A = this chain, B = another copy of it.
């Protein structure tokens, strides 16, 4: 039960996380990802944020605390961030909103995201790793709920729910490896494109290029 109560506190703290704290986490994340934990000092972080060391120490008592937050925090904050951005409406549109909101979070806190994801395989702190998995599961279960809703509503076919969730999350989670902020498409636009591809499929209908009025066509789903 320790874990549960830790998580509750986590939620309370994080709901209050100020822009300043998020900025610190993002800058520290960028430094940890590129220079490593050992190679990054509190001074480096303060400098990168353009704040004094004492202001930095006002928010975090040491580097470990920042790292712990960067390395597990993002999943939890992500959950709250995304949950608050899901509109009422058809479940498929909730899935789309889930993807777009996750992408927005990624754009805003990209370096914290990268540091957190990089810590996955080599965080020596097992407890922290376990907590990361718990938070990841919560986020993933939330998505699975939306997928199940869409199946129940007849909007998507009877696919394997966990596997569908993994496909959707993969498309978003891998973005940090190729996304270039200097290119034109925003992460949100990319999420929209992925949603379209996954929801509608790549496959061309038997029809494709037809003028305005579409004549009746044979059904397509059973042909595989």
* A positions within 8 Å CB-CB of B: 33-34, 36, 92, 114, 118, 120-122, 150, 154-157, 159-160, 163-164, 166-167, 169-171, 173-175, 177-178, 190, 193-194, 196-208, 210, 214-222, 224
Contact = CB atoms under 8 A, between A and B. Distances in A.
Given A166-B178, A198-B167, A198-B202, A208 B193 contact: no
B203 A201 contact: yes
Given A167-B197, A204-B221, A207-B221, 8 more contacts: A155-B204, A157-B203, A164-B197, A166-B171, A166-B178, A169-B174, A174-B174, A198-B201
A197 B159 contact: yes
A138 to B, nearest CB: 15
A61 to B, nearest CB: 26
A165 to B, nearest CB: 10
A197 B198 contact: yes
Nearest to A147: B202
B208 A154 contact: yes
